[in-house]
């Protein structure tokens, strides 16, 4: 079994959705990723929290076995994000983004994290993502995410960072924006030509597409009767995907495809409740059972 490092946002979120709302709840890409990954492998997290960040959230992460020595507490307010979902849940508006201590975030890997084996660079400035990669002494497999803000504002730095990772995990709109290709197969070709041999394009309720040397693999999203809060689904997908790869300790095409399904499993649990609440009492046996349900869903 390999270990997993994640670097990204630690947040307090306000979320409004048709099913209800939540205020000042645990969020942030690094938290969703770390918790999802922790179902499979040892996880180390790097991020920054303000002095208003409740200790109980760090206790929850630690309770999941996550190494939080890399979460630095800075003097100032925690990063806060607010979002409102439309009736369809496919669309959301960002209501506010208050960077707080995240504004001056300069990720520094504790000495003990430098030998991390799987590395996930969540959505932060591409130059910071690159600096994390450079601090890691021997990453076996590095993956990253990004967002429209960096695609628009820092495209040069972003391309340079993408060229250095093994895998890019992004959503369909970002893939189209990044590549200028509306066709996702061509968008994936474009990204793979830049460097990463593996590309995962997330398509929300339509599932995810994997592109690698073996070809294309399509995973559906799990058909849920009720989705309460889609926030963090993408990061939970990435956490399940990387965690499963770490647990298997090899990355042949079949292992990567199983990891895509584990990513889809963790994303499907994430959206059943607000914030990270569904993960609080999620059992490994439930994860395995849903993995088998995925098998049944796609076997014919």
Q: Which residues bind ligand AMP (CB under 6 A)?
A: 9, 11, 13, 27-29, 81, 97, 123, 231-235
Neighbours of 111 (CB within 10 A): 8
> 105 vs 248, which CB is nearer to ligand AMP?
105
> Shortest CA distance to 36 belongs to which of 120, 145, 138?
120
Shortest distance, CB of residue 3 to ligand AMP, whole angstroms?
A: 23
Q: Of 17 and 210, which CB lies nearer to ligand AMP in the complex structure?
A: 17
Nearer to ligand AMP, 98 or 189 (CB): 98
Q: Give buried/exposed letters for 71-101 (b at 16+ CB in 10 A, else e).
A: bbebebbbbbbbbebeeebeebeeeeeeebb
Which CB, 2 or 5, lies closer to ligand AMP?
5
Residue 9 or 166: which CB sits closer to ligand AMP? 9
* Smallest distance, ligand AMP to C-beta of residue 29, A: 5
Which CB, 11 or 41, lies closer to ligand AMP?
A: 11
Nearest to 263, CA basis, from 217, 195, 194, 212: 217
- Which residue of the chain is nearest ligand AMP when measured via CB? 27
Q: How far apart are CA 76 and CA 95, in angstroms?
A: 21
**What are the residues whose beta carbons fall under 8 Å from the beta carbon of 260, sequence distance 6 or more?**
200, 208, 210, 217, 219, 241
Shortest distance (Å) from residue 121 CB to ligand AMP: 12
Q: How many Å apart are CA 210 and CA 215, to the nearest integer?
A: 8
Least Cα distance to 44 among 119, 137, 140, 129 occurs for 119
**Smallest gap from residue 132 Cβ to ligand AMP (A):** 14
Return the half-sphere exposure (C-beta side, CA atoms, 13 A cut-off) of residue 242.
Answer: 39
CB of residue 138 to ligand AMP, shortest distance in Å? 27
As measured in angstroms, the least distance from the Cβ of 81 to ligand AMP is 4
């Amino acid at each position: 079994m390999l270990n997993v490092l994640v670097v990204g946002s630690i947040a307090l979120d306000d979320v409004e959705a048709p099913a209800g709302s939540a205020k000042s709840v645990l969020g942030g890409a690094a938290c969703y990723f770390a918790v999802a990954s922790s179902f499979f492998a040892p996880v180390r997290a790097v991020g920054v929290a303000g002095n208003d960040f409740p200790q109980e959230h760090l206790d929850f992460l630690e309770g999941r076995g996550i190494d939080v020595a890399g979460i630095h507490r800075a003097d100032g307010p925690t990063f806060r994000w607010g979002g409102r979902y439309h009736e369809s849940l496919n669309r959301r508006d960002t209501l506010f983004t208050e960077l707080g201590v995240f504004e001056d975030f300069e990720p520094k890997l504790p000495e003990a994290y430098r030998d991390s084996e799987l590395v996930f660079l969540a959505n932060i400035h591409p130059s910071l993502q690159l600096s994390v990669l450079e601090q890691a002494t021997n990453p076996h497999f590095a993956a990253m995410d990004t967002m429209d803000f960096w695609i628009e504002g820092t495209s040069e730095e972003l391309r340079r960072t993408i060229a250095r990772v093994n895998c890019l995990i992004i959503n369909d709109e970002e893939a189209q924006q990044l590549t200028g290709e509306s066709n996702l197969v061509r968008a994936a070709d474009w990204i793979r030509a830049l460097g990463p041999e593996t590309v995962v394009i997330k398509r929300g309720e339509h599932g995810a597409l994997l592109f690698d040397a073996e070809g294309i693999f399509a995973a559906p999203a799990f058909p849920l009767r009720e989705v309460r809060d889609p926030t963090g689904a993408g990061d939970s997908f990435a956490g399940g995907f990387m965690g499963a790869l770490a647990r298997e300790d090899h990355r042949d095409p079949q292992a990567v495809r199983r990891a895509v399904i584990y990513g889809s499993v963790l994303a499907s649990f994430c959206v059943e409740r607000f914030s990270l609440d569904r993960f609080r009492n999620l059992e490994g046996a439930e994860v395995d059972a849903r993995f088998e349900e995925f098998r049944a869903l796609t076997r014919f």
